[in-house]
Chains A and B, each alone.
Chain A
């Protein structure tokens, strides 16, 4: 990597080190605030950041290559390992994409079950984000609160499909598992439980003077920059763009539930925090409606045992907790995908880091990495 070679090239300046203002600092890959193994090379003038370069790929497992060597069905569990904090969303995107390719639609009950599980996962993902983001900035308590509350979601997942994180909850054509006895009751109990908890998170942070100082006006990314950099999800909405794929191009049963798209105006770290908090409340609202409307009926569409989608190529995307998650699948008519391209929101959003921290302080870099809500498993795939 260039930094190592730059280190080697460095010669002792003519006078002393104190004469040169610029310094190169290596942050990560083993750094608690990088949320995994992200290495950021910082070019600094004192505490001020002049530029950054991200070095990624430490978690690269070649997911897209694996896809070409597995059948459509076999590849399904692999997608959970990308964004492991929101595995349900990954699976939802993949299953819907393959369904589009083979022209099958999941039955209504499955659509609603998918909405319920995906929204539960959105809440869990935002809780992980909030806990770790606050921890990075110096507030330790929210981490314990959010992880304690997330446990209820994981318990529902475990009862539903036997797994807590990498759930493999959906299959191509619907949901293979029927909701367990008391599923609806559990979800509603969680809604009742988490509503006041979100207020509790807010009472810890929203009016907190330190929190405001560390987040307001930090890492501003305006709407034009978001679009140019392809940044989606809460980061885009915090910049004032009212755009959410669940509304813009509804999938699953999102066209049958009512919810708002929270937005903010300034596009700074504080606004992104407010947008995500508001999104959690919207998710609770979606959950209540989806449970109420959950229709009876089968959960799996008729899908051939051996999947051989007709030759062709499609792109389909969903609103994952972190932004637009897309799958571009090329079929050559065989049982294995010819090519699967994953359009990961974390990867594209991370690209905005440099723009957001130029001119800021090192401590802000930590805040901005947190506010982008990246998962390195998805960045590197």
Chain B
């Protein structure tokens, strides 16, 4: 889609250079969540705005303090960004943290499990869990980072809903979950090769061999 992009970017050519180099690091948002309408500001004087770029606010609470006491540097980040509370934890403790969240902190509803691919990073994938507590009416996001090929322990034993959600992550990103009851593709057919939501998978790309063998046509496009 480069043509569309260039056309849209014509108007404020300057603003483009301001794009933060944050593509490979965890996000550092440049505007505080309180200002009423930062929209025009974001479009025009964006270029030199790098200096006062506020990071997400540190999330301080009983929960975070006790987690930090228990896991120390395993809790890499605990922040609030635009009212979203989130934790970035080391992959070695992510299952323990999830277990604790469910058992001790009443996060009894696993809203979503998903992933984000950052091909330039050494740890290519973010695995993201979104949890909700009915008792507290709170939502928290727990993230971890893994390398390509590394496996994550399935959250199925904590929340059965993770079954399909993790299958979809496997289907789209190729991230494997250990101790999952039946990890296989869910939206794509089983013989398919490639993981479409990885960034190196083109938008028009598909498994030509599969299409030819199963549908009997040269291309599905």
Residues of A within 8 A of B (CB): 1-2, 56-57, 60, 62, 64-66, 68-71, 74, 100-105, 173, 227-231, 241, 243, 248-249, 301-306, 308-315, 317, 324, 326, 328, 330-336, 338-339, 341, 343, 347-348, 351, 380-381
Contacts and interface: CB of A to CB of B under 8 A. Distances in A.
A333 B29 CA distance: 9
A249 B84 CA distance: 13
Given A56-B187, A65-B197, A308-B15, A103 B22 contact: no
Interface of B: 1, 4-5, 8-9, 11-12, 15, 18-20, 22-23, 27-31, 33, 35-40, 42-43, 46, 56, 81-84, 108-112, 114, 116-117, 128, 130, 134, 137, 139, 141, 159-161, 163-165, 172, 185-190, 196-197, 201, 203
A102 B42 contact: yes
26 contacts: A57-B185, A64-B172, A71-B5, A74-B4, A104-B38, A227-B108, A230-B109, A230-B110, A230-B161, A230-B165, A304-B39, A304-B40, A304-B43, A312-B28, A313-B84, A314-B81, A315-B84, A315-B112, A317-B111, A326-B130, A335-B9, A336-B1, A343-B111, A348-B161, A348-B164, A351-B164
Do most interface residues of chain B lie in helix, strand or loop, or is the interface mixed? loop
Contacts of B28: 311-312
A305 B43 contact: yes
A303 B43 CA distance: 9
Do most interface residues of chain A lie in helix, strand or loop, or is the interface mixed? loop
B80 to A, nearest CB: 11
A35 to B, nearest CB: 17
B82 A314 contact: yes
Contacts of B81: 312-314
A335 B22 CA distance: 14
A219 B137 CA distance: 28
A228 B5 contact: no
A311 B38 contact: no
Task: From A301, A303, A304, A351, name the one whose CB has the most chain B CB atoms within 10 angstroms.
Answer: A304
Contacts of A330: 27, 116
Contacts of A311: 20, 22-23, 27-30
Contacts of A302: 37, 39-40
B160 A229 contact: yes
B30 A310 contact: yes
Nearest to A355: B160
A358 to B, nearest CB: 14
Nearest to A334: B19
A12 B18 CA distance: 69
B171 to A, nearest CB: 9
A243 B20 CA distance: 39
